Structure 1
Amino acid sequence: MPTPTFKTPNQPRVLLTVKDVAVLDNCSEKTVRRAIASGLLQAIRVGPGGRLLRIDPAAHAAYRAASQW
């Protein structure tokens, strides 16, 4: 009888930086920050004082799907 495999729930989430999203979208970091500020792209604030921005890949995919013509 094979032993069942379990996924560990404590695996780190893979989050994108503002620079990563800018490279993927072929735009500037300022454009990404504007999309976050206007609410078009959801971001998570992390780090001391919440200064760092991270973007979930699913949120980036939703942003890309919404911005398609």
Structure 2
Amino acid sequence: MSRHKIPPNTALSNPSATPSHLKTVRDVAAEDQVSEKSVRRAIAAGLLDVIRVGPGKRLIRIHPDAHAAYRRAING
């Protein structure tokens, strides 16, 4: 299996997206028709950029542009 690494400083077209536009791990998993665990593995591998929010920065949110870049990388 080949890995597609997305550069950590990938420019986002709308970096100031409001929190309501950010996706959860569950949202991304549902859109990609994979498990939440698969999404978390992609995050841990550095393949999917995330934004950590909330108390202690524990909540994970994904910007739509980061999700699109991830999908482009894995789909070629």
* TM value normalised by structure 1: 0.80
Q: Which runs of no fewer than 5 residues in structure 1 stay unpaired?
A: 1-9
- Listed one character per residue, the Cα deviations across residues 4-63 of structure 1 (whole Å, up to 9, x for unaligned) are xxxxxx872410000000000000000000100100000010000011000000000000
Aligned residues: 60
Q: Which runs of no fewer than 5 residues in structure 2 stay unpaired?
A: 1-15
- Greater relative contact order structure (CA < 8 Å, 6+ sep): 2
Identity of aligned residues (%): 62
- Which of 47, 56, 60 pairs up with 1:53? 60
Moved over 2 A (4+): 10-13
1:67 aligns with 2:67: no
Between structure 1 and structure 2, the one with the greater Rg is 1
* TM value normalised by structure 2: 0.73
- Which of 5, 8, 12 pairs up with 2:18? 12
